[in-house]
Amino acid sequence: MMTAPKLYTRELELVGGRNQYGLPNFILWWTGDWRPDAPLLPILDNPSWALMEWHPPVDAGHPELWPGEVLGPYPNRGYYDILQPFRRGSEPSTLDSAELNVSILRQMVRMMLKIRDDSMAKRMEAFKERDRLDSEARQKQIADILHDGMPAFGKAEAISYRGNPGTTTTLKKRIEQIYQNLSHSNEFSRLGRGSRIE
């Protein structure tokens, strides 16, 4: 059985980190050493070194649909799948060569992590935009309801008692009440959004 040198293993761990089971997120593996009891997918007919990435069990699909007769037991602690095989033509690349060395692996893992982070950032932006549009739609709906429910004001209701310093017009009072209701509605919407599970 061929195993990656400790220098490679340590560097991949430093750059790629570990998962919740304490396993490295990225490994360098000789694909000819696949075994049914290993958390690896069989991948290549011609063995070579390959950079592999760990995936959580959910990525394997539902346990009842897992092809155990081909791939072995369901990967309850996740599994590794190939990111990049290292070959030179029909031959496997050797360690410490121009196409397979610690520096190349470090760059590849950093690039994979950046792509993953970029994708997460884009998803978060999409969620924020959706929430913003939802909030605007809710505010418009509230404003429409308040507008539709507002009685038509006539001249008699808009009378202010000039010279009476403690009074204000009925119209002004109703407008202030509408703004207050809108403020409470916005606060309620924010609280509701914060507790929603995506």
- Same domain for 100 and 140? no
The answer to whether residues 80 and 132 belong to one domain is no
35 and 96 housed in the same domain? yes
Query: Where is the domain boundary, 81, 99, 121?
Result: 121
Structure tokens at 55: 């995936």
Please report whether residue 1 resides in a domain.
Answer: no
Rounded distance between C-alpha atoms, residue 38 and residue 59, angstroms: 17
132 and 97 in one domain?
A: no
Lowest mean pLDDT among 20-24, 147-151, 155-159: 155-159
pLDDT of 177 higher than 70: yes
Q: Which of 68, 94, 121 is the last residue of a domain?
A: 121
Same domain, 56 and 89: yes
pLDDT, residue 38, reads: 54
Tell me, what's the pLDDT at 23?
92
Answer yes or no: pTM beyond 0.85. no
pLDDT tens digits, one per residue of 30-83: 987 665 545 565 555 788 999 999 999 999 899 999 988 887 889 899 988 888
- Residue 153 sits in the same domain as residue 168: yes
What gap in Å lies between CA 141 and CA 144, rounded to an integer? Answer: 5
**Distance set, CA 118 to CA 123, 124, 155, 174 (Å):** 9, 10, 60, 49
Nearest to 26 by CA among 50, 54, 7: 54
Q: Element (H or E) spanning 174, and its range?
A: helix 170-194
Query: Which domain-ending residue is among 121, 138, 169?
Result: 121
Look at residue 105 and tell me if it is in a domain.
yes
- Least confident segment among 9-13, 73-77, 110-114, 164-168: 164-168
Pair 168, 160: CB distance under 8 Å: yes
Assess whether 158 and 64 both reside in one domain.
Answer: no
Domain count, the chain: 2
- Select from 45, 122, 119 the least CA-distant residue to 82: 45
51 and 20 together in one domain? yes
Same domain, 92 and 144: no
Domain range spanning residue 131? Answer: 124-194
- Residues 76 and 131 placed together within one structural domain of the fold: no
